[in-house]
Structure 1
Amino acid sequence: MFTGIIENLGIVTHLESELDNLHITIESQLAPELKIDQSVAHNGVCLTVVKIDGNTYTVTVIKETLNKTNLGDLQIKDVVNIERAMKLGDRLDGHIVQGHVDQIATCTKIEEASGSWIFTFNYNQDLNNITIEKGSITVNGTSLTVVNSKRNEFSVAIIPYTFNNTIFKFLKEGATVNLEFDVLGKYVKRLLELDIK
């Protein structure tokens, strides 16, 4: 379980394909604090640490995850958002994030506002995921509040701290991002679909 509050930025140092899997090695200040078998979110995707070597660690991404996320697009020197799983009893500063990406989206517009940035994303509505105005959304692992919610599009407002301490500062129009929709909203939507009395 995560909160969507990014702890650190990691740099991809090595990529290795093995059958349908992709092993990603990342350099991070957090590496010496990690343990083998620990869950860490990378751009919002929960992955298991399988190797640690000094200031780098390795995670393995399986085909199912590669098919549903943007991790397969990573290149050497790319920067990723990193968050360790929350500790029981910690403050939940973001919102409840599972690290299970629902789908990808495309950044369609970036606007500078007075002291902030507005990022707009378009996603495939056929997967029946929804956003609501002022609801929570996770974009590349970052807990954000939805503005301008539409059927297949939404925007988020990024404050300077978030912009400077996440990969939002590197995001360009046309970039692909990982989305995890609010888990509470997903349960409500599913209950309505089942028409449970």
Structure 2
Amino acid sequence: MFTGIITGVGRITAVQPLGSSSSHGKRLTLQAPPGYLDDVGLGDSIALNGACMTVTTFSAEKGEFTIDISAESLDKTSGLDNEGPVNLEKALRAHDRLGGHIVSGHVDGIGHVTRFEQVGESWDLRVMAPPALGKYLAYKGSITVNGVSLTVNRVVDSEAGCECHINLIPHTVENTALGNLRAGSRVNLEIDLIARYVERMLKHNP
């Protein structure tokens, strides 16, 4: 379980196939910020751009760790099969502050950025979510974009999907990998867990 509050920006430095066919996954080697792995152990969960992954090897001295990602996970996520920056979040501990919202680390769909421009001191981020996710998005509700817990300021429904308007403060742009986004960038999306359960309960309400 996670909160969507990014605790570090790492970098995928190597991508190696785990087999000879496309049905096999990949092994990712990542460089973490200094000291980030000091309290990490084998088998710990770390979210990469919002996708929960398991640490398979690590070196706290080098600040380096690896994860194995299945072909299924690669098919359902974006940005985890190429070298480059990624948002990192360690799994939530029972005594931690819930600074964002409840995040499972399971990507619900892939959206794409329709606008990312600076407006005054902040940034206007707009993401088109797939049509199937539109019903879970609401004004002042929460959405996770590449692992970052964000507040939805406006939703615009269309046949193409649901466009979420999000305001990013400078701190978020400077301390996550969201600053690397551009119009057309693909992003991992996770809807609010509570919205998922509400739909389930309403569907089965006698």
The verdict on a shared fold, with TM-score over 0.5 as the criterion, is yes
Which residue, out of 26, 29, 39, partners 1:25? 29
Deviation readout 1:80-117 (Å, 9 max, x if unpaired): 00000111021111110010110010001113212100
Partner residue of 2:49? 43
| Distance (whole Å) between structure 2 residues aligned to residue 153 and residue 33 of structure 1 | 39
Deviates more, 1:125-134 or 1:50-59: 125-134
| Distance (whole Å) between structure 2 residues aligned to residue 102 and residue 4 of structure 1 | 15
| Distance (whole Å) between structure 1 residues aligned to residue 16 and residue 38 of structure 2 | 22
Structure 1 unpaired stretches of 5+: none
| Distance (whole Å) between structure 1 residues aligned to residue 75 and residue 133 of structure 2 | 14
| Distance (whole Å) between structure 1 residues aligned to residue 126 and residue 134 of structure 2 | 19
Identity of aligned residues (%): 37
| Distance (whole Å) between structure 2 residues aligned to residue 95 and residue 130 of structure 1 | 15
Query: In the alignment, is residue 84 of structure 1 matched against residue 90 of structure 2?
Result: yes
Query: In the alignment, is residue 170 of structure 1 matched against residue 180 of structure 2?
Result: yes
Deviation readout 1:17-47 (Å, 9 max, x if unpaired): 1131111110012134321100000000000
AA in 2 matched with 1:56: E
Q: In the superposition, relative to structure 1, how do residues 164 and 127 fare at CA in structure 2: closer, same or farther (>3 Å)?
A: closer
Q: In the superposition, relative to structure 1, how do residues 117 and 127 fare at CA in structure 2: closer, same or farther (>3 Å)?
A: closer
Counterpart of 1:191 in 2: which secondary structure? Answer: helix
Partner residue of 2:109? 103
Structure 2 unpaired stretches of 5+: none
Counterpart of 1:80 in 2: which secondary structure? Answer: strand
Deviates more, 1:147-156 or 1:79-88: 147-156
Counterpart of 1:150 in 2: which secondary structure? Answer: strand
| Distance (whole Å) between structure 1 residues aligned to residue 197 and residue 139 of structure 2 | 18
Deviation of the 1:69 alpha carbon? 0.6
Partner residue of 2:3? 3
| Distance (whole Å) between structure 1 residues aligned to residue 134 and residue 152 of structure 2 | 17
Which residue, out of 133, 151, 158, partners 1:145? 151
Partner residue of 1:59? 67
Deviation readout 1:138-177 (Å, 9 max, x if unpaired): 0000000001113321111100000100011111111000
TM norm structure 1:
0.93
| Distance (whole Å) between structure 2 residues aligned to residue 115 and residue 70 of structure 1 | 29
Partner residue of 1:13? 13
| Distance (whole Å) between structure 1 residues aligned to residue 134 and residue 174 of structure 2 | 32
TM norm structure 2:
0.89
